[in-house]
Amino acid sequence: MEKIKKQALFADLGLVAVAFVWGSGFVASKNALDSMSPMMLMTVRFAVASLLSGFIFRKNLKNLSKDTIKAGCVIGFFLFTAFAAQMIGLQYMLAGKQAFLTATNVIMVPFIYWAVKKHRPDQYNFVAAFIMLLGLALLTIDFSVGFSFNPGDALTLLCALLYACHIVVVGIYSKEHDPFALTVIQLGFAAIVSLAYVLLTGEFTLAIPIPGLINGLYLGIFCTFLAFLGQTVAQKYTNSTHAAIILSLEAVFGSLLSIMILGEDFTLMMFLGCLVIFMGILTAETKWSFLKTAFLKTKQDTPEKITEI
């Protein structure tokens, strides 16, 4: 029992670390974009991550079937397009604001799964969607000048939609294929397409300033490769609902770090929007099951306390 508790504790700490690293990725991306184009940054990030994952999981790449390669490429397509929309959108908006807008993908997933698998979302998903729309209005609309929705907002919501599609196809294909092989293939696909793009457009350059290169390497090593590996290992020792609560802190860390490191200024309305979206994320991911569990535990403990008196 003591061993299980220690494993659960280390799993929680690991997931907090993953959420923190993912949140810091918005800051690193914003800084890196001062030194290179969005697609060049993606080339560096995914090249580093794919080379590392390919080396670590090289045994999983033996005897790959055509179906596995195809599945990995489909997943890689959604990964590439989601990050492309995110990186381009980040040029027009605050990193902290983008952290929360990107996190709305968890609310979109059940509805995309509904469209693909005809599995209707429950009432919590519909409530979460309504909460998300309210939060988006508070976060993106500048009420002082009327309706204002900038390109960064639109691209980031497109990123959230594409990443939600990525989550759905990963869920489908990972049941049929080796998940580690799929990971290597999708990262490799994103790296190759990013490289092809910068070569064709003339954006490719090796003259990247040191600060930009450091941020790019940080994104590839920590925010992509190690974060994925940490999440995979940690979730062996905890349930998905508990993990979802902790990982949803990514948006919180992203906003806080953006304010602390980048000096971004959040208005009260934007803060309320972030808070509302976070409530929507918790509703969609956890269905408030942890409150139900706490209530039942309290109810069960009450008779014993009365008896003691």
**Spacing of C-alpha 26 from chain mean position:** 11
In this structure, the chain runs to a length of 309
What pLDDT was estimated at residue 160? 92
In whole angstroms, give the CA distance from residue 15 to residue 21: 10
| Burial zone of 199 (CB within 10 Å; 0-12 exposed, 13-18 middle, 19+ buried) | exposed
Query: What count of Cα atoms within 13 Å lies in the side-chain half-sphere of residue 188?
Result: 19
Distance CA 163, CA 49 (A): 18
- pLDDT at position 194 is 97
pLDDT for res 241: 56
Residue from 77, 259, 262, 82 nearest 156 by CA: 82
Q: What is the pLDDT of residue 148?
A: 62
pLDDT for the residue 209: 94
CB 128 within 8 A of CB 283: yes
Question: Interhelix angle for 151-173 vs 105-117, to 10°?
Answer: 50
| pTM for this prediction | 0.83
Q: What is the pLDDT of residue 239?
A: 66
- Cα–Cα distance list, 26 to 1, 19, 57 (Å): 39, 12, 27
**How many CB atoms are closer than 10 A to CB 12?**
17
Q: Which two tokens stand for residue 5?
A: 């508790």
Q: Give me the tens of pLDDT residue by residue for the chain, a chain 309 residues long.
A: 777 778 888 888 988 899 899 999 999 999 999 999 999 999 999 999 999 999 999 999 998 999 999 999 999 999 999 999 999 999 999 898 899 889 888 888 888 988 988 888 888 888 888 888 888 877 777 666 655 668 899 999 999 999 889 988 888 888 889 988 999 999 999 999 999 999 999 999 999 999 999 999 999 999 999 998 888 788 778 766 567 677 778 888 898 899 899 998 877 888 888 888 888 888 877 777 766 665 566 666 655 544 444
What per-residue confidence (pLDDT) applies to 307? Answer: 46
For the chain, domain boundaries: 2-308
- What is the reported pLDDT for 261? 93
Closest to 67 (Cα-Cα) out of 173, 171, 192: 173
Report how far residue 32's alpha carbon sits from residue 26's, in angstroms, rounded to the nearest whole number: 10
